[in-house]
Amino acid sequence: MKLTKLLTYLTTEPSVNDSQDPEITSIEMDSREVKKGSLFVCVKGYTVDGHDFAQKAVENGAAAIVAEKELDVDVPVIIVRQSLRALSVLSDAFYGQPTKKLQLIGITGTNGKHQRPIWLMRFSKKRGSEQA
């Protein structure tokens, strides 16, 4: 998927010119997993900051980087407010929005939480639905 198409899923559309519109082959947040064509997303953790590994990601073949601050690298850098949020939105778009196909049921309360899931599972089996 082209980077510009992927970026249309973000609420604030960062601009990338046509000469810097690479084909994205995967989305990674671990620089060791980056390969040619990957989009590397810099995520700040509690002990490690993904921004510190941006250059390593480029060396491993990253085609572009999503970050929360400017970086001095030789690939397009897309600046976002929250890189972790951008990671989830971009991954959803890249992998064909699988979350739209999910049907979720939540069971809350203090009593009856054991029997209700069993009843729902039996009911959905009769309807031919898959269960996790």
pLDDT per residue as tens digits for the range 41-97: 999 999 999 999 999 999 999 999 999 999 999 999 999 999 999 999 999 999 999
- pTM value is 0.77
Give the per-residue pLDDT at 42: 97
pLDDT band for position 131 (cuts 50, 70, 90):
low
Cα separation, 42 vs 29, in Å, equals 6
